[in-house]
Amino acid sequence: QSVLTQPPSVSAAPGQQVTISCSGSASNIGNNSVSWYQQLPRTAPKLLIYDNDKRPSGIPDRFSGSKSGTSATLGIAGLQTGDEADYFCGTWDSSRSVGIFGGGTKVTVL
């Protein structure tokens, strides 16, 4: 069971928007920045969002991140079939000095 809680799956039609939540606690999300990763089938994870809401170069602005208190959210707007993947949130847990990831959310484009 992951320390960070994500919904197992979300789905929407092409062009629609989905949001993925990531719930933690004061010792992790509450006191540290959150990052988000996309993992396409049979590939390595790819950084989508860092420092809660920043996008690396090359990541389209359809992807957005936010954080409030002990929760974070990834938004994907204008959903495309190429967005079908697993998405993971991650952060540092200060009380245990360990990195942690959410259990992952599978995005399906209907």
Partner 1 sequence: EFQLLESGGDSVQPGGSLRLSCAASGFPFKKYAMSWVRQAPGKGLEWVSGIRVSEDETFYADSVRGRFTISRDNFRNTLYLQINALRVEDTAIYFCARDLFFFMDVWGQGTTVTVSS
Q: Among the candidate windows 9-17, 18-26, 45-53, 66-74, which touches partner 1 by CB under 8 A?
A: 45-53
Residue 2 contacts partner 1 per CB under 8 A: yes
- CA–CA dist 29, 76 (Å, integer): 20
Task: Classify strands 71-76 and 18-23 as parallel, antiparallel or unpaired.
Answer: antiparallel
Query: How near is the Cβ of 101 to partner 1 at its closest, in Å?
Result: 4
- Candidate residues 20, 22, 29, 32; the one interacting with partner 1 per rule CB under 8 A: 32
Helix, strand, coil % over all residues of the chain, rounded to 5: 5, 50, 50
Cβ atoms within 10 A of the Cβ of 9, count? 12
> Toward partner 1, which CB reaches closer, 12 or 50?
50
Residue 51 contacts partner 1 per CB under 8 A: yes
Residue 66 contacts partner 1 per CB under 8 A: no
Residue 69 contacts partner 1 per CB under 8 A: no
> Toward partner 1, which CB reaches closer, 60 or 99?
99
Asked if residues 72 and 89 have their Cβ atoms less than 8 Å apart, the reply is yes
Residue 46 contacts partner 1 per CB under 8 A: yes
- CA–CA dist 70, 12 (Å, integer): 26
